[in-house]
Amino acid sequence: MFGNLGKKFADDIATQVQQKIGEHLSNKARETGSTEQATESLGQVTGRRKALFIGINYYGQNGELRGCINDVHNIKQFLSQNYRIDEVLVLTDDQTSNPRKMPTRQNILAAFRWLRNGAKSGDSLIFHYSGHGGSVKDTDGDEEDGMDETLIPVDYKQAGHIVDDEVHDVLVRGLPKGVRLTSIMDCCHSESILDLPYIYTVNGDLQIIETSKNEGIVTLVGAGTRFLLDGNKKKAMTSIKEGMKHLMSSTSGGNSAAREKTIKTRSTEADVIQFSGCRDSQTSADAQIGGEATGAMSYALITSLKKSKNQNYTHLLKEMRTLLNGKYTQIPCMSAGRKLVLDDSFAI
C-alpha cells in the first residue's frame, strides 16, 4: 500500500508497540509472581579462552543447508577480531581431507571433552553450533514439553542424534565454579539444548511459568499494528498464525515437576550461559542476507554486537529479538545454569 518506505515505517512502529506491550506484560508477570529475580553474580574471565565452532551443511543429504559453515567463519572471525581467544577447534563438513575435523557424532563429543578439559576458575569456554536440531520424546521426565532436543551430526543416519541430556552430561556437568561457558546455538528446537534450568526474559528476570501466552499476545498486537499501517495481508496472516500458535501452546500450562527436576539435576556451579536461535517448539531460519547464506540467529548476534560490544547480556537478547522480529518467526532465547545477574557487559 505504501511502498518500501511505508513498510519500514510500519515495521518500526509495530516493533515499538510490541516492545511496550512486552514490557507491560513482563512487569505484570513480576507482580503476579510468574518471574523471579536473578541473584548470583557473574565471575570474571581472567584465564585462558578456548573456542569450539561446529558448522554442518549436510552436503548431498536430504535437508542440505547453505549457511552453517558461513556462520562458523563469520562468528569465528568476529569473535577473534574483537575478543582474545587462545585455542580454537573447528569442525565443518567441508574438511573431508581430515576425518578428525568432520562433525560426526564421535568427533563432536570428543570436541566437547577437548573444550572443557583442564578448565579452571577464570577460564572462558566458547561453543558455537550451526546445523540441524531435532526433538525426540523425553524418557526421564525433565522436559516441560515432554520432548528432548537434539543436535544432528553429519553422520546421524548411521550414528544417531546427540540428545540434550548427553550434551549436558559431556559438556556442562561438573564444570568448576568460576569457569564461564558461553554457548551460541543456531539450530531448530534449541531453547533447552544444553538442558539449563533458568530461562531469561528480556528484562533479565527468570521465567518460572509458561510464557507462550505473552509471546502470543505481543505477536498478535504487532500483526494488527502492521496491517493497519501497511495493509500487508500475507505478512499479517503469518504473524497471526504464529501468535495463535503461542496462545494455543500456553493453554496446556507448564510441567512444574519437570522444571523442579531440571533445577535439581541440571543446575551448575560454573557460569554457563546459552544464546539459542529459537524456542524449543520453533525452527531457525537458514536465510539469505546481504547475498550470503547465513543462519538468522548467527547474523543477529554479530549485527547486534557490532552496534555495541559493551551492551549487557539482557540488552543483547533484546537487540537480537528486535532485529529478527517481523522478518522471521523464531524468537531468540537466553538461559543459564545458575541464577546469574547478567547486567555485566557481554564478554568471552
Is 188 noted as a catalytic residue in this protein? Answer: yes
CA distance 73 to 152: 20
Beta-carbon contacts of residue 3 (< 8 Å; ≥ 6 apart): none
Sign of CA dihedral 136, 70, 273, 26: negative
Is 189 noted as a catalytic residue in this protein? Answer: no
| Beta strands per DSSP E along the chain | 35-36, 49-55, 87-92, 124-130, 133-137, 147-151, 162-163, 180-186, 198-199, 206-207, 271-276, 286-289, 292-295, 333-336
Q: Active site residue: 68, 168, 187, 188, which one?
A: 188
What is the distance between the terminal CA atoms of the chain, rounded to a whole angstrom?
Answer: 45
CA distance 200 to 198: 7
CA distance 127 to 53: 6
Q: Active site residue: 68, 128, 132, 315, which one?
A: 132
Burial of 293 (0-12, 13-18, 19+ CB in 10 A): middle
Residue 30 phi, psi (nearest 5): -60, -45
CA distance 68 to 85: 21
In 83-155, which ranges are continuous DSSP H helix? 105-116
CA dihedral 254, 322, 228, 236 (to 10 degrees): -60
Say whether 340 sits in a helix, a strand or coil.
strand
Burial of 288 (0-12, 13-18, 19+ CB in 10 A): exposed
CB atoms within 10 A of CB 58: 18
Q: Which residues are catalytic?
A: 132, 188
